[in-house]
């Protein structure tokens, strides 16, 4: 995935959090919500973080990961998907083999009766 996709995910996450904050504090203004939940840390504005003066806890953004880290995460996802696919294929093959064996048994019973 490229940086544009991760930026889009950050954008969607921000809006979900912001809308939740406004919904949670109906009687408060948007400026109050911003000052309570969001702050500027370093060169980033509107960071969802705790209000601790030293070492605040921040929400990790998708764009914080380097492309190397994202590639590793993608490989883990692909490996998981391949494992799931192999499991599903093996179950499908077992189902086909089971159906074939049952049909052969029914066929042999039919021939034995006639």
The span from the CA of 47 to the CA of 59, in Å, is 7
Using a pLDDT cut of 90, give the percent of the chain over it.
26
The residue ranges of every structural domain in the chain are: 1-64, 65-114
Tens of pLDDT, residue by residue over 87-99, are 555 555 455 555 5
Mean per-residue pLDDT, 38-67: 85
Q: Are 21 and 37 in contact (CB under 8 A)?
A: yes
Q: State the pLDDT at residue 20.
A: 92
Q: Are 33 and 22 in contact (CB under 8 A)?
A: yes
Q: What is the pLDDT of residues 1-50, one digit of tens each?
A: 577 888 888 899 999 999 999 999 999 999 999 999 999 988 989 999 88
Q: Can you give the three-state secondary structure of 17-79, one letter per residue? A: HHHHHHHHCCCCCHHHHHHHHEEEECCEEEEEECCCCCCCCECCCHHHCCHHHHHHHHHHHHH
């Amino acid at each position: 995935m490229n940086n544009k996709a991760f930026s889009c995910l950050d954008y969607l996450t921000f809006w979900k959090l912001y809308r939740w904050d406004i919904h949670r504090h109906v009687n408060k203004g948007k400026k109050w919500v911003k000052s309570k939940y969001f702050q500027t840390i370093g060169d980033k504005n509107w960071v969802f973080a705790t209000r601790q003066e030293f070492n605040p806890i921040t929400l990790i953004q998708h764009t914080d990961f380097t492309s190397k880290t994202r590639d590793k995460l993608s490989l883990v996802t692909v490996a998981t998907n391949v494992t799931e696919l192999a499991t599903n294929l093996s179950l499908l093959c077992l189902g086909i083999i089971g159906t074939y064996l049952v049909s052969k048994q029914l066929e042999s019973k039919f021939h034995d009766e006639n």
